[in-house]
């Protein structure tokens, strides 16, 4: 373990972070109003309101920030924690890109994490599913780690990763999340949206709706790829169930052809069908992403799908931005922004 830790502690004693401004705020959301008159001596809902379904955003702005901030949106069962310290205790994308001069905005989407106040009820049932996540996250096939996986074998790292999981406090609803992201881009102006996993689908729909999203970098998007309505591909079958795509109007789709889009997937994605659910779903998601990027580009867009091992970055999990080689993964993001004149 010590050898491994030493090997990967390349950013153990980094330079000081100099922050011009940092804080947090809520954006978006709605207000529910109960009929009646408020009674301060009772406990009734009459005449009262409920503010809910907002996103919560924490941010840091460095000195001499670059033109566009990076806005980070987590995936399923995750929150802004995703982008902070890595499970093995190194710096995550928040610090890495703050050091590179980007203002960083970290979203807790509505009904998740610190933005937990929902207008809809939810029953939370604890479920023992860590091993399912281990497979889904492509750290290995439980209980085995992939031999060259860029993830620590120290059990405390896996413990930390499992504890990043945090549930929905209301039903997942893109029609609630996307407006909150629109409200954020209204507030902060033009920026780059960086998404992970299920956040990818939210990202495409947000970019359709808000022109302040000037590019998208998506790590391992999983669902809700929006095709032109008459070009929606058939569902792709996999061991975890069928993967379907969305249909959108020509006007909506056109927006996705107007911004640069980079999609990154890690390693260990099988080429052929397999009965392992965690494995197999990535096979169809990668296939769908490729099909979608091809459609976007056929209509004049600028989308690329990069399998990290194809460019020499081997061993990445579902969380490339917190893997051992996350500095190299970050370099690819930086290169992408530079190549598009967006940094």
- Range 45-64, binding its own copies (CB under 8 A): 45, 47-52, 54, 56, 58, 63
Which tokens sit at 248?
A: 């959108």
Binding-site size, its own copies (CB under 8 A): 80
Site string for its own copies, 86-105 (x = CB under 8 A): ---x-xx--x----------
Distance CA 195, CA 112 (A): 15
Q: Which stretch binds its own copies (CB under 8 A): 74-82, 227-235, 256-264, 298-306?
A: 74-82
55: exposed, middle or buried (C-beta count within 10 Å: 0-12, 13-18, 19+)?
A: buried
Instruction: Please list every residue from 247 through 276 that binds its own copies, using CB under 8 A.
Output: 275-276
Yes or no: say if 198 and 223 are a contact pair by the CB < 8 Å rule: yes
Q: Give whichever of 29 and 221 is closer to its own copies, judged by the CB atom.
A: 29
Q: How many whole angstroms separate alpha carbon 130 and alpha carbon 63? A: 40
Kindly tell me which of 29 and 226 has the beta carbon lying closer to its own copies: 29
Residue 23 or 341: the one with the smaller Cβ distance to its own copies is 23
Question: Is residue 323 within 8 Å of residue 309, measured between CB atoms?
Answer: no
How long, in residues, is the chain? 343
Contacts of 65 (CB under 8 A, 6+ apart): 20, 101, 102, 103
Q: Is 34 in the site for its own copies (CB under 8 A)?
A: yes
Q: Kindly state the smallest distance separating residue 94's Cβ from its own copies, in Å.
A: 8
Site for its own copies in 170-199 (CB under 8 A): 170
The smaller minimum CB distance to its own copies, of residues 7 and 124, is found at: 124
Residue 24 within binding range of its own copies, rule CB under 8 A: yes
Q: Does 23 bind its own copies (CB under 8 A)?
A: yes
CB of 159 to its own copies, least distance (A): 6
Is 11 a binder of its own copies (CB under 8 A)?
A: no
Least CB distance to its own copies at residue 258 (A): 32
Of residues 8, 81, 214, 283, which one binds its own copies by CB under 8 A? Answer: 81
| Spatial distance between the Cα atoms of 78 and 37, rounded to a whole number of angstroms | 39
Nearer to its own copies, 16 or 234 (CB): 16
Q: Which stretch binds its own copies (CB under 8 A): 42-50, 65-73, 250-258, 333-341?
A: 42-50
Tell me how far, at minimum, the Cβ of 29 lies from its own copies, in Å: 6
- Position among 146, 167, 223, 287 found at the interface with its own copies (CB under 8 A): 167
- In the numeric block, the tokens 């095709």 are attached to 227
Taking the complex as a whole, how short is the minimal distance between the CB of residue 257 and its own copies, in angstroms? Answer: 35
SS3 245: coil
> Which of residues 6, 10, 17, 311 is near its own copies by CB under 8 A?
17
**Whose CA is closest to 139, among 194, 211, 184, 86?**
86
**Residue closer to its own copies (CB basis): 269 or 289:** 269
- SS3 (DSSP) at 2: helix
Continuous segment of H or E residues that includes residue 336: helix 326-339
Nearest to 204 by CA among 180, 220, 221: 221
Question: Does 145 contact its own copies by CB under 8 A?
Answer: no
Bond before 143 cis per omega within 30 degrees: yes
Task: Please give the residues from 105 up to 124 whose contact with its own copies meets the rule CB under 8 A.
Answer: 108, 112-124
CB 86 within 8 A of CB 92: yes
Q: Are the CB atoms for 202 and 196 separated by under 8 Å?
A: no
Q: Considering only residues 109, 150, 152, 169, which one is a binding residue for its own copies as defined by CB under 8 A?
A: 169
Q: Which is nearer to its own copies, 224 or 281 (CB)?
A: 281
Exposed e or buried b per residue across 149-182, where buried means at least 16 C-beta atoms within 10 angstroms of its C-beta:
bbbbebeebbebbeebebebbbebebebbbbbbb
């Amino acid at each position: 373990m010590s050898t491994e830790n030493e090997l990967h502690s390349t950013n153990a004693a980094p330079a000081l972070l100099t922050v011009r401004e940092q804080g947090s705020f809520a954006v978006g959301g709605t207000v529910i109003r109960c009929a009646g008159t408020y009674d301060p001596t009772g406990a009734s809902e009459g005449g009262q309101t409920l503010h809910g379904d907002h996103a919560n955003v924490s941010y840091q702005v460095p000195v001499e920030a670059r033109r566009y901030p990076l806005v980070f949106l987590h995936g399923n069962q995750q929150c802004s924690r995703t982008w902070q310290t890595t499970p093995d205790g190194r710096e995550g994308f928040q610090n890495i890109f703050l050091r590179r001069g980007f203002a960083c905005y970290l979203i807790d989407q509505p009904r998740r994490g610190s933005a937990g106040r929902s207008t809809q009820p939810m029953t939370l049932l604890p479920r023992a599913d860590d091993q399912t996540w281990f497979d889904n996250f492509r750290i290995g096939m439980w209980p085995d780690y992939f031999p060259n996986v860029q993830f620590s074998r120290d059990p405390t790292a896996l413990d930390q990763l499992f504890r990043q999981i945090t549930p929905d406090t209301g039903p997942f609803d893109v029609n609630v999340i996307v407006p909150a992201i629109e409200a954020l881009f209204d507030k902060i102006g033009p920026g780059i949206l960086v998404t992970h996993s299920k956040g990818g689908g939210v990202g495409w729909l947000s970019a359709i709706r808000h022109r302040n999203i000037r590019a998208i970098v998506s790590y391992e998007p999983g669902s809700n790829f929006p095709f032109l309505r008459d070009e929606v591909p058939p569902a792709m079958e996999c061991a975890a169930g069928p993967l379907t795509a969305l249909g959108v109007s020509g006007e909506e789709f056109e927006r996705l052809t107007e911004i640069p889009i980079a999609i990154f997937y890690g390693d260990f994605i099988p080429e052929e069908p397999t009965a392992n659910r965690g494995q197999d779903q990535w096979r169809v998601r990668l296939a769908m992403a490729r099909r979608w990027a091809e459609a976007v580009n056929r209509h004049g867009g600028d989308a690329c799908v990069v399998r990290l091992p194809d460019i020499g970055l081997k061993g990445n999990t579902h969380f490339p931005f917190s893997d051992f080689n996350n500095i190299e993964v970050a370099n690819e993001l930086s290169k992408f922004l530079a190549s598009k004149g967006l940094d």
